[in-house]
Amino acid sequence: MKIFLSGSKTAAVLSEKLTALLDFYCQQNSEFLIGDCFGADKLMLEYLYAKGFPNVTVYVSGARVRNRIGDYPVKHIAVPEGLTGFAFYRQKDIAMAQDCDAAVMLWDGKTRGTRCIIEDMQRLNKPCTVIDDGEE
């Protein structure tokens, strides 16, 4: 099963609820699809890398990797010329939503990018678990 992991750029820690879910998916030998953003993406990459979990692919909009943790394979997503900012980085999120079977989002309830991903998952009729980034 391919699990899309993402969340708010404001995330500073992973809750016990989230790490327990990550551990469960690791035990199931799932594959994780994660972006290269700071915040939730980076925290989850660091957690999986520290566990030595190998089944992770990092999705990147364009050519430049923003946060490189370990030696996980990178999937570069082509971005139409002229896109910048939010629209540029959104391309990797769209690709991960299409490529995954389910998603887990660590959300602060405000971040636009995470909200868009949750809406993508609903449109695609794929399961999406949303964890409040303030939960313990």
Average pLDDT over residues 8-19: 93
Question: Alpha-carbon distance 103 to 32, whole Å?
Answer: 9
Angle between helices 40-51 and 16-27 (to 10 degrees): 50
Can you list the domains of the chain with their CATH numbers?
2-132 (3.40.50.450)
Band of residue 82 on the pLDDT scale cut at 50, 70, 90: very high
Q: How far, in Å, CA of 33 to CA of 41, rounded? A: 10
Six-digit token string for 23: 């551990």
Given a cut of 60, is residue 135 above it in pLDDT? no
